[in-house]
Amino acid sequence: MMDISFRPLLAGLCALPALLAQDSLGDRAHAVLAARCLGCHGSQAQGGLDLRTQAGALRAVQPGNSAASLLMARISGAKPPRMPMGGAPLTASETELLRQWIDQGAPYPAARAAEPKWTPPLAPRQVTPPAGGAHPIDAFLPVNKPLVSDGVFARRVWLDLWGLLPTPAELKRFEDDRTEGKRDKLVARLLSHKENYAGHWMSFWNDLLRNDEGVIYHGERKSITPWLRKALEDNLPYDEFARRLISPESPSDPDGFLTGVTWRGVVSASELPPMQAAQNSAQIFLGVNLKCNSCHDSFISKWQLADAYGLASFFAPEPLEMVRCDVKTGRVQQARFLFPELGSVPEGLDLKGRRAVAADLFTKPANGRFARTYVNRIWARLLGRGLVANVDDLSAEPWNADLLDWLAMDFAGQGYDTHKLLARIMNSRAYQLPSVTEVSAGPRYRFEGPERRRLSAEQLADAVASLTGEWRPVENRATREVAYAREWRFKSSPLTRALGRPIRDQVTTVRQSQPTMLQGLELVNGATLARMLRRGAQRLMGTLPPAPKALFDSGPVRGVKMRPRCEIDLTGASKLWLLLEDYDTYDPARARAGWMAAEFVTAAGAAVPAAEAFPATRLNALPLGTELVLDLAGKGFTRFVATAAVEEASAASDVNASVRLFAFTQEPDREQLVQAAGPTPVVRPHLSLATPQLAVIHLYRHALSRDPSAAEMMLARQTIGARLTPEILEDMLWALVMSPEFQYIR
């Protein structure tokens, strides 16, 4: 299975991260062959096929002609037996990779000489950028290609800084602008908008810091959302940001980070909160993986059990006894930093004191790894590939150490200001080059432009919302304030989970962005996206009925003690809508609630019990989700009076009814039972319906930041036909959103 004689092909690739640096098409294809085929078709040469050399592969590979290559027919199953025999079939990506590799001549690389081992520096390193190039980054990465157009640039920076699409109006303004340095100015303007900036970067940090919305765990777990949001809006300097997380002191500091993710019961010693704190802070801030050596000395790196415990002891009430593979060793490890040369720890400090020392050791200028790790993450975020490819392992050799060290020092020198770092990178030519999906062959990675990146789950949801103006309101359960919200504010949905929004039990630094069939199913017929697009199309066309305000909103009603009184004016109303909604009941199927002691009051002041006024309709002890529509015509009622109540039995702990009741005198919009106060995150678009052309141009410019081509316009005109309807618009929107051009940042 593991073919050691394949070593010549991979000679010199003695470290995983170095391997990441070599990934021409040929290298990647060979990696797939190595992983999935060589077990039988390497030294064993089963069926006479040896895929380690081109000569040996000719039996199944016709260089230049994938369609005629037996290999492709076998892996697709077109020609049985399907390969790999007895194993899972190749994924779509792997298949495509091999197809293109064969079509490009099925190249095999020459053997490579062994490379000297890389030692990662700790201290910052002063580097002078090479001569030439107006921007220092470009001096390191000279690439002679024209930059992307204004439209591509605008879409890129809007998505990278705000996670939103540029509106057609903004796009036009930008394109028409002839002033010098307009791109730099756009970046600066986008950075200055606190809410939109934070609305995007919250997800990045939620992934890293294991923070989530609406999560309720047994045991302790604490959200850091208020602090994090403010830190992003205020552009808190990164070193201060890290210090607050590592050593929270004031009540508003984010102590949820050190609390970690706990479960009631016995927890492995390697996952106690101080150990989690050590693993997470080492990974996030220093690109060090302490997970292996939280149980035993690492088999694959220099880190030892004592290192993990040494760091964990900064975060434990008392220094910790080391436990190796769940067996106590009897040795207590005092607090000791991963890089002791940065400073020793005074003895006898309490927890607060030790945390403060940790915060200092992580962030002090002499700790060059701190800045390097962060600039590398941001670089990877914007350019699609880190200067050190594995952003969680900064011990590996960067593909451009000078650039990394220069950028890190530049960042530290300007005060760890993230906005300035972002602008630094985005103002370079390197960032503005056309994106690439393939890298040319060669022994080392060569930068030719940013890599094409996929929209994240949140970016997709927000992009659809900004395209259609259909934003969803979210209610702050504590303050009951309702506002239109970006996707990060909501709990994960099947759609966002399928698109890669992680369960935040673990630190996530890179999201999975591969297309999958489950994603396909959500995008093709999932209810979440379907609803967004249907309503969105109606909103754009102006056919969405207005959402009336409820005359009565009980708010959350739990148990039998909460019995809010409802008293509403029915004058002039022809109908009364009474809604009973679930609000997180344990067992919604068994919960019963409703309108107790309900009465209708006439103009004369007489109170008619509901059972008399509407004998066919029961108003109380209703199942959740009931919507009653009462016809008031000719009855002469002026008021409705009732008590919103949960039935006694439903308050029992195994039902735990939690409900909300609404009363309307106009048809309610079930998606907007509570009204949001305040603006939508972006101004709602106005779709010009004057002519089909204008509508199509607007859609393309909004979705893709470019005009439709002649062929696209013709197709759109044909599709619209005589008149644009909400259904046609919905389907066109869907097709646009499903375009790979939309789904990726070009």
Partner 1 sequence: MKDLLKHIDRRRFLNVSAAGIAGALAAGSARPLWGQAKERPKPTADTLIVLWMAGGMAQTETFDPKRYTPFEPGLESRRVLSTFRPMDTVVDNIKVSEGFTRLAKVMDRGTLVRGYQAGDLGFILHSRHQYHWHTGYAPPQSVAAPHIGSVIARTLGPKNPDVPAFIDIGQNMEIGAESDALKAFHTAGFLGTEYGPFMIADPADAMASVRPPAHMTSSRFQNREKLYKKMLEANPVLRQGADFQQESFVRAMDNAHRLLNAPAARAFDLSLEPKESYARYNTGRFGLGCLLARRLTEAGARFIEVTTEYIPFRFWDTHENGHDRMAALKPMIDGPVAQLVLDLEERGLLNRTLIVLATEFGRDMMTEGKPGLEVKNQVDVPDTMAATKHYGMHRHFTEAGVVLLFGGGMKRGFLYGETADERPCKVVRGAMGIEDLHATIYRAMGIPADLAYEVEQRPFYVTRDGKGKPRMDLFA
Taking a C-beta distance cutoff of 8 angstroms, is the pair 641, 566 a contact? yes
Q: How many beta carbons lie within 10 A of that of residue 587, not counting itself?
A: 13
> Could you tell me the smallest distance in angstroms from the CB atom of residue 551 to partner 1?
28
Nearest residue (CB) to partner 1, 87 versus 365:
87
Beta strands in 154-267 (DSSP E): none
Residue 635: half-sphere exposure toward Cβ, Cα within 13 Å: 24
Nearest residue (CB) to partner 1, 108 versus 586:
586
Taking a C-beta distance cutoff of 8 angstroms, is the pair 510, 448 a contact? no
Alpha-carbon distance of 405 to 397, in angstroms, equals 12
Nearest residue (CB) to partner 1, 16 versus 694:
16
> Could you tell me the smallest distance in angstroms from the CB atom of residue 296 to partner 1?
8
Nearest residue (CB) to partner 1, 643 versus 725:
725
Strands 592-602 and 607-609: antiparallel
Specify burial of residue 483 (Cβ count, 10 A radius: 0-12, 13-18, 19+): middle
Q: What is the 3-state secondary structure (H, E, C) of 591-630?
A: CEEEEEEEEEEECCCCEEEHHHHCCCCCCCCEECCCEEEE
Tokens of 485: 């919200």
Nearest residue (CB) to partner 1, 344 versus 739:
739
Nearest residue (CB) to partner 1, 404 versus 704:
704
> Could you tell me the smallest distance in angstroms from the CB atom of residue 125 to partner 1?
25
Residue 69: half-sphere exposure toward Cβ, Cα within 13 Å: 24
Buried b (16+ CB within 10 A) or exposed e, 639-665: bbbbbbbbbeebbeeebbbbbbbbbbb
* Cis peptide bond N-terminal to 142, omega within 30: no
Q: How many beta carbons lie within 10 A of that of residue 262, not counting itself?
A: 16
Tokens of 456: 């994240």
> Could you tell me the smallest distance in angstroms from the CB atom of residue 290 to partner 1?
9
Nearest residue (CB) to partner 1, 488 versus 640:
488
Tokens of 701: 């410019």
**DSSP annotation of 451:** B
* Cis peptide bond N-terminal to 84, omega within 30: yes
> Could you tell me the smallest distance in angstroms from the CB atom of residue 599 to partner 1?
34
> Could you tell me the smallest distance in angstroms from the CB atom of residue 27 to partner 1?
7
> Could you tell me the smallest distance in angstroms from the CB atom of residue 522 to partner 1?
8
Tokens of 525: 């017929």
Residue in the structure block whose two tokens are 């109006």 = 169
Nearest residue (CB) to partner 1, 404 versus 495:
495
> Could you tell me the smallest distance in angstroms from the CB atom of residue 532 to partner 1?
11
> Could you tell me the smallest distance in angstroms from the CB atom of residue 562 to partner 1?
17
Of the candidates 93, 159, 92, 91, the one whose C-alpha atom is nearest the C-alpha of residue 456 is 159
